[in-house]
Amino acid sequence: MKNILVTGGAGFIGGNFIHYLLQNRSDCRVVCFDALTYAGNLETLGEVLDNPRLRFVHGDITDRGAVYRLFEEEGFDAVVNFAAESHVDRSIDTPEIFLKTNILGTQVLLDACNKFQTKRYHQVSTDEVYGDLPLDRPDLFFTEETPLHTSSPYSASKASADLLVMAYYRTYSTPVTISRCSNNYGPYHFPEKLIPLMILNALEDKPLPVYGDGKNVRDWLYVEDHCRAIELILEKGRVGEIYNVGGHNEKQNIEVVKTILKALGKGEELITFVRDRPGHDRRYAIDPAKIHRELGWLPRTSFDDGIQKTMDWYLKNRAWWEHIRSGDYQNYYEKQYGMRL
Ligand code: NAD
Ligand code: TYD
């Protein structure tokens, strides 16, 4: 049975990855290490917190002492690093925490892998490290060879971490892999990001704030497809390699917003164009040919199915997002663990 460290597993993609592993991999035991920042929510793991194959540890990846103690205790077979500050708008207001968590936190984990001879370190990165593409060149896509060209403090911090990961591979032969994925959507997505924000505002008949002209393009991937890509990279990916992950699902923001309104039976008068994000990337588009060719990965969920499943999930799981909106989720750790510590 493999012992896997998942950092940032109380967040959106890390949480989905833990559910995915526990459901699909009976050979895995998972340790979730998460600082429970505003974006971390133990209710995301609620159903599986009592699973004997999951251990939750509250901690910060920049805390070298805590990370080393955990590695010593657990002797991990693999580390998958999802822990990050992930919201571009917040990085524009407060860049420093992005540099600390996303770069220095990555370095601590890499050092721990070297010290304890972990067999694989996987860095969960983003297509945002490539910058953006012009709207009038639909023939252009990001490949793994596209130069890094970042726009926001968030993407700059993720690109810095990627450079560090590759430097550790070259210098110390740390067995690393990197995945660079396009925008994810699906269950447990924190409601400050585009898709969940628009679903929840529409449900509550609140204005839907679209930045700029709404024509910015994102390449949307259902989160479970991303989880499967990471599983494949851990199993069959070549050490020292970068894999782009994306589903050729390019949509303008305004199209996404209109799809949500239509499906929820709400009118387009809720759409409100607001001041644009500074440095706003125009278009992201991933070429996933390498992961398809080498590992046989292809996305399984179309955008139409995925967005419907996502809306259904938010409709059925009101308590999850109502607790976030009211701030109650931040007391959950105390409620869940206070008596056990
Ligand atoms: P998220 O913001 O939903 O979750 C981040 C998690 O990391 C939270 O649980 C938070 O508590 C935890 N965390 C933050 N700082 C920490 C620290 N110092 N120590 C330990 N834990 C800490 O983010 P997400 O959307 O799930 O993204 C996960 C990863 O995937 C990130 O690295 C992000 O860059 C990358 N990524 C995200 C997308 C996307 O569309 N969301 C796309 C590609 C790549
Ligand atoms: P976001 O979910 O923040 O992801 P990212 O910027 O990392 O791609 O935003 C997705 C797109 O939606 C991006 O072009 C910005 C836009 N957007 C809005 O128009 N309104 C909003 O309220 C938010 C949060 C995002």
Active site residues: 127-128, 154
Task: Compute, in angstroms, the gap from residue 44 CA to the centroid of ligand 1.
Answer: 13
Residue closest via CA to ligand 1's atom 19 equals 60
Which one-letter DSSP state was computed for residue 29?
E
Per-residue pLDDT, 327: 85
Is the pLDDT confidence value at 50 over 50?
yes
DSSP one-letter string for 106-155: HHHHHHHHHHHT-SEEEEEEEGGGG--B-TT-TT--B-TTSPP---SHHH
Residue 21, amino acid: L
Phi, psi at 64, each rounded to 5°: -60, -40
Domains of the chain by range and CATH? Answer: 2-189+223-248+280-302+328-337 (3.40.50.720)
Instruction: Give the pLDDT confidence of 260-309 residue by residue, as tens digits.
Output: 999 999 999 999 999 999 999 999 999 999 999 999 999 999 999 999 99
CA of 177 to the centre of ligand 2 (A): 27
| Residue 338, pLDDT score | 64
Other C-beta atoms closer than 10 Å to the C-beta of 116 total 16
The pTM of the whole model exceeds 0.95: yes
- Is-contact 271 261, C-beta < 8 A? yes
Parallel, antiparallel, or unpaired for β 250-252 and 241-245? unpaired
Q: Is 216 in the pocket of ligand 2 (CB under 6 A)?
A: yes
What pLDDT, in 10s, does the model give residues 149-205?
999 999 999 999 999 999 999 999 999 999 999 999 999 999 999 999 999 999 999
Ligand 2 geometric centre to CA of 308 (Å): 19
Q: Which atom of ligand 1 is nearest to the CA of 8?
A: 7
Closest by CA position to 14, among listed 39, 233, 333? 39
Q: Kindly give the distance from the C-alpha atom of residue 71 to the centroid of ligand 2, in angstroms, as a whole number.
A: 36
Q: Which band of pLDDT confidence, cut at 50, 70 and 90, is reported for residue 341?
A: very low
- Ligand 1 pocket by Cβ (under 6 Å): 7-8, 10-14, 34-37, 39-40, 60-62, 82-86, 101, 105, 124, 126, 158, 181, 183-184, 190
At 219, which amino acid appears? Answer: D
Give the whole-angstrom CA distance, residue 8 versus residue 318.
Answer: 23
Output the pLDDT for position 1.
57
pLDDT in tens, 64-115: 999 999 999 999 999 999 999 999 999 999 999 999 999 999 999 999 999 9
What H or E segment, with its residue span, contains residue 92?
Answer: helix 88-93
Give the H/E segment covering residue 67: helix 64-74
Cα–Cα distances in angstroms (integers) from residue 230 to residues 77, 152, 242, 319, in the given order: 15, 25, 11, 29
Question: Is the shortest distance between the CB of 152 and ligand 2 below 6 Å?
Answer: no
For residue 140, the SS3 value is: coil
